Amino acid sequence: MSEDSSSFLELDSITKKFGDFTAVRDISLKIREGEFFTLVGPSGSGKTTMIRMLVGMEQPTSGEMRLQGRVLNDVPANKRPTCMVFQSLALFPHKSVGENIEFSMKIAGVDPARRRQRAEELLTQLRLPVNYYDKGVNQCSGGERQRIALARALAFDPQILFFDEPLSALDFRLRKTLEKELKDIHKETGKTFVYITHSLEEAMVMSDRIAIMKAGGIVQVGSPHEIYNNPVDKFVAQFMGEVNTLAVEKAGARSVRGQADGATYQVSRMPEGFTSGFLIIRPEVMKIGKAAERLKNRVKGVVFNDYALGSRIQYQVRATATNEHWLVERLQDDPYEGKVDDTVSIGWQPADSILVSE
Amino acid sequence: MSASRHDRVSWLRQPGVLAALPAAIFLLLGFAGPLAMVFGYSFMPPKTFSLMQPPTVENYISVFTDSYYISFTWSVTLAAITVLLLFPICYPIAYGMAKLFGKWATLVTVLVAVPLLISENIRLFGWVLVLVKNGIADGSLQTLFGVSMSGLLYSVPAIVLGLVYVYLPFMLFPLVIGISMIPDTLKEAASDLGASRWQIFREIELPLAMPGILIGGILTFILALGSLAESKILGGQAIVMIADDIESSFTFAQNWPKGAVLSVLLIALSGIIVYALFRRIDLDQIIGRR
C-alpha cells in the first residue's frame, strides 16, 4: 500500500471515553515522516491520553490510527514499531546504564557484543561518557538520566519516538539546554518525533509543527510561526505567554469598540462574520510614551511598575479609564524615557494586533 | 572535639537513647535473657536443672553422635518444600492484591488475616476433621465417587498441607508489599521496548519484587523450621521434626541440657541460612538504591 509522506502517522476521528468523561474528542491528524510534531495543551486537555493510545497503553473508544497505512489499533504495545520517553523516564533502577540502553536489544535477541557496541555509540551520541556503561542509573544526575532514557528509546530504533513531557521536572537552564539538544538529535537521526508538553514556549523551540489541544480536541495545527502570528482564538493567544487581551465588538468595516472603555480601535483586517471577540496585542509590539503619541490606537494610563526581563524591560500600565492592566516591552538598552507613576500614552499599529472570536 | 568526661556520659541523656531504653530493657529481659539461659544450659551436665554446674560439651557430643540429624533433615526439607509451594501459590494472589483488586484488596487482606486470630492448633484440628478416615474429604469421596482415601491424615503430605496453610499469610503480605513497590510505568516502558508479559515478569517484576520475596521466603522458612503443631497434629507418628525433639527433651525426657543443645543448634542453623542469604544478596543493589 503506497502512502504519500504527508500521512506517515494518521489519526482518523480518534475518541477516547473513560465512563462518562470524554478525554479525547474526535481528533484527526496527519503527522509527516521525519517531522518534529508537538501536541501542546494544559493539563486535562487529553494530550497524555492521546499519546498513551499511540504507544498502545490505552485503546481508543472509536476511530483509527494508521502508521504508513497499517492500522495500529489492535497491535499490542510490545509489537508496535514506536517507542516512548516517559515523563518519569521509567528507567529500570535495578539495571546499569548500559543494561537500560540495551534492554530492547536484549529482548530482541541481539548478541551481547553487538549490543554493547550500539550502547556505547548511543552514549557518545548523547554526550555521555562511555564509562557510564556500568554505572547505576540512580547515581546519574537528572540531565544524564534524561539522556539515558533517550538513548534507551533510540536503541529500539523506533519508526516514531514519542515524548511525554520528559523535561518538565528539570530546572529552567537544563531544560533549555536539553530542548536544543533534542532538536539536534532529531536532525541527526532523521526520525519522526512526537512530543507532548504543556509549554508552548518549549514546543516553539523544537517543533516543525504544533497542534494545540484544549478539552480533548485540537484547536489549531500549524508551524510555530503560523501559531505565533495567527492564533485562532484567545485560548491559543494567551497560551503563548503574556499578551494584552481586550474584549471588543465590531464597530465598522475596519474598526472595533472596546467593551470596557467604549473607545474605537482600528484593525488591519476583520475576520468574516465577526461580531464580538478579543483584540490581542503582544507586549513587544506595544509602544509607550513618545513613540505612542502619533499612533491611532492609544490608551492612556499610569506606569505602575517595571520589570527587567534580561534583554528586555517590561512595563505594567494601568489604564486610567478602566484600570485594565497593560503590558508593554522595550529593549533593555532602549528604555522608556519617563518614570514609574507617570501618566503616559501607550498604543499599537493596527497591523500589530490580532482579532479573534471567543 | 575532645572527649571530655561530660561528653562520655551525655550520650545517655540523648532523646533517642532514652526513648529506646524501655524497649531495650524489655528485649534484654524477655529475649536476650532466655536465649542466654538456653545457651548456658546447653553446657550443663545431662539431666540437671541448675546453671551452676561446671560446664561440659558432653551434650553436644551425644547429640552429634545420636540420630538427631534425621529430625533436622526433616525440618529443613519440609521448611524448604513449604517455601517452594508457598511462593507460586502466593505470588498471583499478592499480585492481584497489589495491582488488580482495588478496594477488594482490603477484603482479601481481612479474609487472610482473620484466621490468625484463632489458635493455630484449633485450625489444625479443623484439618484433622477434613482429612481423617471417614472425615469430610474421605466421606465426600466415598459418597460421590465411591472411592476411599483413608490414608490422608498422619502422612508427610498432610504436614506440608498444614505448614502451607498456617504460614500462607507470612509469605503473602511481604509479597504484596514487594509487588506494590514496583511502579507500573516500568512495566509499561518494558512493554513499549518490546518485552512480552513473561519477559516483563523475568526482567522487571521479579528482580524488583525480590526484597518482598526474600523476606517472605525467610520468614516462612524460619517459622516452618521451628514448627511443631503441624507434624504432631497432622503427621501423627509419621515423622519427627526437630521442634518435636526439643519439646520432648524438655518435657517427657526431663533433659533440659539436651533440649538446650538442640535449640542452640536450630538457632545457629537458622542464623547461618539467613546470614548466608543476605551475604549473597544485596537488597539495596537489587532495587537500585545503591
Q: How close are the terminal C-alpha atoms of chain A, in Å?
A: 43
Residue B134 in domain: yes
Predicted local confidence at residue A1, as pLDDT? 39
Residue B80 in domain: yes
- Minimal CA separation from B62 to chain A, in Å: 49
In whole angstroms, give the CA distance from residue B233 to residue B128: 8
| DSSP type of residue A39 | E
The grid coordinates of residue A113 equal: 557484543
Give the CA distances from residue B284 to residues A137, B2, B152, B184, B210, in Å, rounded to whole numbers and listed in that order: 13, 36, 44, 20, 10
Predicted local confidence at residue A3, as pLDDT? 43
- Minimal CA separation from A78 to chain B, in Å: 4
Domain definitions of chain A by residue range:
5-232, 242-357
Give the CA distances from residue B135 to residues B97, B138, B148, in Å, rounded to whole numbers and listed in that order: 34, 5, 11
Q: Please name the residues in contact with B72: beta carbons below 8 A apart, sequence gap of 6 or more.
A: B242, B265, B266, B269
The answer for B 87-146 residues in CB contact with A (under 8 A) is: none
Q: How close are the terminal C-alpha atoms of chain B, in Å?
A: 32
In whole angstroms, give the CA distance from residue A122 to residue A115: 11
The grid coordinates of residue A333 equal: 538598552
In whole angstroms, give the CA distance from residue A336 to residue A327: 13
- Minimal CA separation from B176 to chain A, in Å: 19
Contact between A161 and B192 under an 8 Å Cβ cutoff? The reply is no
> Can you spell out the DSSP letters for B60-107?
HHHHHHTTHHHHHHHHHHHHHHHHHHHHHHHHHHHHIIIII-TTHHHH
Whether the per-residue pLDDT at B162 is higher than 90: the answer is yes
CA B274: distance to chain centroid? Answer: 11
Interface test with A, best of B182, B185, B186, B192 (most A CBs within 10 A): B192
In whole angstroms, give the CA distance from residue B212 to residue B193: 26
In whole angstroms, give the CA distance from residue A65 to residue A50: 11
In whole angstroms, give the CA distance from residue B195 to residue B193: 6
In whole angstroms, give the CA distance from residue A138 to residue A152: 15
A166 part of contact set with chain B, CB < 8 Å:
no
Residue B122 in domain: yes
- Nearest Cα residue to A7 out of A32, A37, A35, A29: A32
Beta strands in chain A (DSSP E): 9-18, 21-31, 36-40, 62-67, 70-71, 82-85, 160-164, 192-197, 209-214, 217-222, 244-252, 255-258, 264-266, 276-281, 287-288, 297-308, 312-319, 325-331, 343-348, 353-357
The grid coordinates of residue A126 equal: 548523547
Superfamily of domain A5-232: P-loop containing nucleotide triphosphate hydrolases (3.40.50.300)
Contact B207 A94 (CB under 8 A): yes
The answer for A 79-98 residues in CB contact with B (under 8 A) is: 79-80, 82-84, 86, 88, 90, 92-95
Backbone angles phi, psi at A10, to 5 degrees: -120, 130
Contact between A204 and A169 under an 8 Å Cβ cutoff? The reply is no
Predicted local confidence at residue A229, as pLDDT? 84
CB contacts of A80 in chain B (<8 Å) are 192
Contact A108 B196 (CB under 8 A): no
B192 part of contact set with chain A, CB < 8 Å:
yes
Contact between A160 and A192 under an 8 Å Cβ cutoff? The reply is yes
Angle, alpha carbons A217-A222-A228 (nearest 5°): 105
- CATH number of the domain within which B194 lies: 1.10.3720.10
Residue B188 in domain: yes
Total count of domains within chain B = 1
- Minimal CA separation from A55 to chain B, in Å: 7
In whole angstroms, give the CA distance from residue A205 to residue B241: 73
Q: What element of type H or E holds A97?
A: helix A97-107
Residue B230 in domain: yes
pLDDT tens-place values along chain A, 358 residues long? 344 445 799 999 999 999 999 999 999 999 999 999 999 999 889 999 999 999 999 999 999 999 998 999 999 999 999 999 999 999 999 999 999 999 999 999 999 999 999 999 999 999 899 999 999 999 999 889 999 999 999 999 999 999 999 888 888 888 999 999 999 999 999 999 999 999 888 899 999 999 999 999 999 999 999 998 888 888 888 887 789 999 999 998 899 999 988 899 999 988 888 899 999 999 999 999 999 988 989 999 999 999 998 899 999 999 998 989 999 999 988 888 888 999 999 999 999 999 998 7
Strands A36-40 and A209-214 turn out to be: parallel
The grid coordinates of residue A253 equal: 468595516
* pLDDT band at residue B6 under the 50/70/90 scheme: low
- Minimal CA separation from A70 to chain B, in Å: 18
Q: Please name the residues in contact with A239: beta carbons below 8 A apart, sequence gap of 6 or more.
A: A40, A42, A200, A212, A231
SS3 A271: coil
* pLDDT band at residue B284 under the 50/70/90 scheme: low
Given the C-alpha cell 495500529, which residue does it identify?
A: A72
* pLDDT band at residue B285 under the 50/70/90 scheme: low
Whether the per-residue pLDDT at B5 is higher than 80: the answer is no
SS3 A93: coil
What CATH fold (topology level) applies to the domain A242-357?
OB fold (Dihydrolipoamide Acetyltransferase, E2P) (2.40.50)
Whether the per-residue pLDDT at B62 is higher than 60: the answer is yes
Strands A70-71 and A264-266 turn out to be: unpaired
SS3 B144: helix
Contact between B190 and B200 under an 8 Å Cβ cutoff? The reply is yes
Query: CATH topology of A5-232 equal to that of A242-357?
Result: no
Percent of chain B at pLDDT > 90 equals 63
Contact A92 B189 (CB under 8 A): yes
Q: What element of type H or E holds B235?
A: none
CA A84: distance to chain centroid? Answer: 17
Contact between A248 and A77 under an 8 Å Cβ cutoff? The reply is no
Strands A209-214 and A217-222 turn out to be: antiparallel
What pTM was computed for the model?
0.80
Diameter of chain B measured on Cα atoms: 86
CB-neighbour burial class of residue A312 (10 A; exposed 0-12, middle 13-18, buried 19+): middle
B204 part of contact set with chain A, CB < 8 Å:
yes
B208 part of contact set with chain A, CB < 8 Å:
yes
**Cβ atoms < 10 Å from Cβ of A64:** 14
Which one of B185, B208, B286 has the shortest CB-CB distance to A90?
B185
CB contacts of B188 in chain A (<8 Å) are 57, 77, 86, 90
Predicted local confidence at residue B150, as pLDDT? 75
Range of the structural domain that residue B201 is part of = 60-286
